[in-house]
């Protein structure tokens, strides 16, 4: 029986193949959703074409299937949602809840690294540039299911952040909030690199009158402290021919018991049955040994 009251998701960007860090996020969110008898959705976050690699979306989906990580419903691609993003931005601008900004990164860095809201005070209003939300909610703290109480810098929490870039691309913060609301996501399970971003997303949920999900941030897999595995850092792709070793390595990383069977679907069934939220390490980063790095 499916518990429609719980809906989770895995939302990779198509900037390269899935690596061990990606597998941790995918497996962690999958186990959590299935342990709650809920739905597990997959969303491809393809709103940044300059960073995308041709064929990566299909490769990601084939890899998930090879690992037995089968999703519910159809895959949502963010590029299908551009009209919804623009409609929300147009509404915010018309209500003076968002505004154009022409400040460069160099100027912002010279002012201490955080934007001071100056373009929001311009008269007449600017009509070109990036678009920033008038951040009225200013959420600076929230409770994470694994990490506990999370607090960000008050200036960061209050900053009017970008919701559409000056190059015309939609910003992650807006797209992820609108898509989580659209898909009815009740809990977001992902890596700790997005802890701070959660405050901005909670601010947006509040300001747009949307119901925010709960938050569960998993430790980051790192080659060394402060150096997470990522596509940008050329982390190796996980093995799609013999996924069992990688699955058990990811289970171990998440503090879960290993599973000694060959069929990946059976492995996952047993992993769901054994899943314990309390076993997930409360660290923000875990440095992998060489065995994990080679997985």
pTM of the model: 0.94
Do 192 and 276 have their domain in common? yes
Residues 75 and 87 in one domain: no
**Domain match, 192 and 275 both:** yes
Residues 140 and 67 in one domain: no
Least confident of 17-31, 223-237, 238-252: 223-237
2 domain-assigned: no
Per residue in 177-216, pLDDT (tens digit) is 999 999 999 999 999 999 999 999 999 999 999 999 999 9
Residue 293: the pLDDT is 47
pLDDT number for residue 169: 98
65-113 pLDDT tens trace: 999 999 999 999 999 999 999 999 999 999 999 999 999 999 999 999 9
Residue 201 lies in a domain: no
**11 and 55 inside one domain:** yes
Angle at 72 between CA 66 and CA 78, to 5 degrees: 90
How far apart CA 80 and CA 292 sit, in angstroms, is 36
Q: Give the domain extent around 232.
A: 7-79+187-196+213-293
Tens of pLDDT, residues 114-148: 999 999 999 999 999 999 999 999 999 999 999 99
Domain count, the chain: 2
CATH label of the domain that carries residue 129: 3.40.50.620
Residue 12 lies in a domain: yes
pLDDT of the residue at 234 = 57
pLDDT-derived band at 288, boundaries 50, 70, 90: confident
Instruction: Give the percent of the chain with pLDDT over 90.
Output: 90
| Domain shared by 26 and 151, yes or no | no
In this structure, are 241 and 287 located in the same domain?
yes
């Amino acid at each position: 029986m499916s518990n429609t009251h719980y809906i989770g998701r895995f939302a990779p960007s198509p900037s390269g193949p899935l690596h061990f860090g990606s597998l941790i996020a995918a497996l962690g969110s999958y186990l959590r959703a299935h342990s709650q008898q809920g739905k597990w959705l997959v969303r491809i976050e393809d709103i940044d074409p300059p960073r995308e690699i041709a064929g990566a979306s299909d490769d990601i989906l084939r890899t998930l299937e090879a690992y037995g990580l089968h999703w519910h419903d159809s895959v949502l691609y963010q590029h299908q949602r551009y009209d919804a993003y623009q409609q929300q931005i147009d509404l915010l601008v018309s209500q003076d809840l968002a505004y154009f900004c022409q400040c460069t990164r160099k100027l912002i860095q010279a002012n201490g690294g955080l934007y001071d809201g100056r373009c929001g005070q311009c008269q007449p209003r600017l009509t070109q540039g990036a678009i920033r939300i008038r951040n009225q909610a200013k959420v600076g703290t929230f409770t994470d299911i694994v990490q506990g109480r999370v607090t960000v810098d008050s200036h960061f929490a209050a900053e009017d952040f970008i919701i559409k870039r000056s190059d015309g691309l939609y910003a992650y913060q807006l797209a992820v909030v609108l898509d989580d609301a659209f898909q009815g996501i009740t809990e977001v399970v992902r890596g700790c690199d997005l802890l701070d971003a959660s405050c901005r997303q909670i601010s947006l949920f509040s300001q747009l009158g949307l119901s925010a999900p709960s938050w569960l941030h998993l430790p980051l897999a790192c080659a060394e402290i402060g150096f997470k595995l990522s596509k940008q850092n050329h982390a190796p792709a996980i093995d799609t021919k013999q996924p069992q070793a990688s699955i058990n390595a990811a289970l171990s990383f998440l503090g879960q018991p290993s599973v000694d069977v060959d069929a990946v679907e059976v492995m996952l069934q047993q992993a769901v049955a054994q899943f314990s939220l309390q076993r997930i390490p409360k660290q923000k980063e875990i440095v992998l040994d060489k065995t994990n790095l080679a997985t």
